[in-house]
Structure 1
């Protein structure tokens, strides 16, 4: 995908769409219409508040953080990931963007927080390298999805794991009435602890961490879902994307983030040390287990299929959880689509299946 230089007319039009508005009691910031071209110049003093811990570690390990500095992008890193914490931080205006799956953008909209997805990535061969597997409590017999009938399943409505549970039940020909859904937010080791203590029979676990769980609890098992679950995004407050300075900085960040994911693919040992060991605290053996089971991240040439999958998920959750119907396309800022594709260059994924 090739980006052509903007013509003078386009630049003039972009400038005409900029307006000045008050911003948070600290002076003023130029407001960028959501239909305007992304600015190319980052104003001095612009800061992005980002919760993206894995990419933070990769940027520092790879030296790609220098590209941000050279472009004048200053990042205030937040140790935040996942939907509940990021939405809470958005509401308190303590965060601009966060790395999540696809579900948080839906729940942000349903609960009155306006956000935009500015980055999409996929897993190469997603069914071979799933993000989640179903962890089974020690002593509980589940050999197939049909065996979920009558089981207690950990469930978090506002997280990707919750949507996965609903999709698993649908695939198994079961309904929520055929199982007991145990409301439990997935934070830290909460699902692992619940399984180990037999508070639940089944819980979605990060597939790369299943082996660690099975070693920790003798008799623990797991099964694959056979469902694509690789949605990975960066979503931001709409007000942050409408801030011309932050939008310019995000344009740089999105490009550098794409390079960081590709670097991570090529440097699993360095990634394991920089993030899994030094940040998450895994030992060397467990970190290697995680990277061995991780699939390579891909940068899609187009977001069409990702948006279609998001719409299907939105429709499912609206039906099962009683939410309003939602147009998933309104949650995505496609101005960033060619930015990440251009950064990936020849390594862009052109065959992302729907």
Structure 2
């Protein structure tokens, strides 16, 4: 079955954009967080990688509250669980949080991390279909069919790449496709699209399978690395849960630092033994992932996120809103403070 090719006009008229005529409006909570996590506090957390890192490192023993771990990751699953009141905290890039607020799901970022080398170790590259000729730079995207996943990081990257090249969605054809599994590599190989963002082990596998037919990849030279913890507003309004989240944010930062300091153990125990990757794929993914840092200030982060909100709004027909609605400033220094205390 062929997928619909969406022009900018058709996309803006779609149901996704129709839900967001007005931007979210609500007060930013600023109630003090209790110094200690009250006894009996419990969180449901969807952050599988950190869960494994906490267990492998032994840091999980420092949790002072009860945790129910949910095997949930990615924006769509996390948002669905939030709406069902089945999840308190999730891990995601910035785009699902931005779109959640457009779609009447008030969420706030409580932690942020970024790669220490975002350009040298990007999360995504752009896969070029075997039949697409003359695509060597972002400017060559003009007139091409590009896989597009609205509401996810890959979709925002496409829009950023177009802007960097001086193009808009009117200069290309966006083909709405889910970014799950092998959908993008298959769409490229079957000539459904000319260009699609690829990440993780999809990149080497795509080149191995289709490189002989002319498939290539190109880098974009843009930041694509934000990593967040986020929670619904109603969870953050609960003082006990806010205190537990603050504790978790510190351990989340320390767990990632532990992974960065123990890459071979992470490869062996998580990527190979738990995730079932081959050693070749695991080594590639570890190298591509690079290392992470947490800033002590969100000022620059907010500036970038505001630019993303404005870009998505302009290109997709949404109402822009103030980035302050996205960040719970009570948590701004928690991750950095936790790392400093452990150094």
| TM-score normalised according to structure 1 size | 0.84
Change in Cα spacing, 1:346 to 1:76, as seen in structure 2 (3 Å) is: closer
Deviation at 1:312, TM superposition (A): 0.5
* Corresponding residue of 1:319: 314
Match of 2:37 among 36, 42, 55: 42
Equivalent pairs, count? 313
Find out whether 1:269 has 2:264 as its counterpart: yes
Deviation at 1:209, TM superposition (A): 4.2
Find out whether 1:130 has 2:125 as its counterpart: no
Match of 2:159 among 166, 172, 176: 166
* Corresponding residue of 2:203: 210
Q: Deviations over 1:287-314 (max 9, x none)?
A: 0011112221001111111111110000
Q: Deviations over 1:146-166 (max 9, x none)?
A: 221222111011011111101
State the SS of the aligned residue for 2:44: strand
* Corresponding residue of 1:111: 103
State the SS of the aligned residue for 2:167: coil
Structure 2, unmatched stretches of 5+, are 1-27
Give the distance between the partners of 1:139 and 1:339, measured in 2 at CA: 49
Q: How does 1:189-208 map to 2 (within 5 A)?
A: 189-206=182-199
After superposition, the CA RMSD in angstroms is 1.8
Change in Cα spacing, 1:336 to 1:208, as seen in structure 2 (3 Å) is: farther
Give the distance between the partners of 1:217 and 1:347, measured in 2 at CA: 46
Deviation at 1:272, TM superposition (A): 2.1
State the SS of the aligned residue for 1:258: helix
State the SS of the aligned residue for 1:300: coil
Deviation at 1:176, TM superposition (A): 1.4
Give the distance between the partners of 2:200 and 2:140, measured in 1 at CA: 20
| 8 Å contact from structure 1 (residues 208, 293) kept in 2 | no
Deviation at 1:190, TM superposition (A): 2.2
State the SS of the aligned residue for 1:55: helix
Deviation at 1:140, TM superposition (A): 2.5
* Corresponding residue of 2:18: none
State the 4+ residue runs in structure 1 displaced beyond 4 angstroms. none
State the SS of the aligned residue for 2:221: coil
| 8 Å contact from structure 2 (residues 131, 194) kept in 1 | no
* Corresponding residue of 2:8: none
Q: How does 1:1-354 map to 2 (within 5 A)?
A: 34-68=29-63, 71=64, 73-141=65-133, 142-206=135-199, 209-219=202-212, 220-345=215-340
Deviation at 1:286, TM superposition (A): 0.4
Give the distance between the partners of 2:217 and 2:325, measured in 1 at CA: 37
| 8 Å contact from structure 1 (residues 58, 274) kept in 2 | no
Q: Deviations over 1:58-112 (max 9, x none)?
A: 11111111111xx2x2221222222122111111111111111111111111000
Change in Cα spacing, 1:74 to 1:190, as seen in structure 2 (3 Å) is: farther
State the SS of the aligned residue for 2:174: strand
Give the distance between the partners of 1:221 and 1:270, measured in 2 at CA: 32
Deviation at 1:207, TM superposition (A): 5.4
State the SS of the aligned residue for 1:272: helix
Change in Cα spacing, 1:309 to 1:95, as seen in structure 2 (3 Å) is: same
| TM-score normalised according to structure 2 size | 0.86
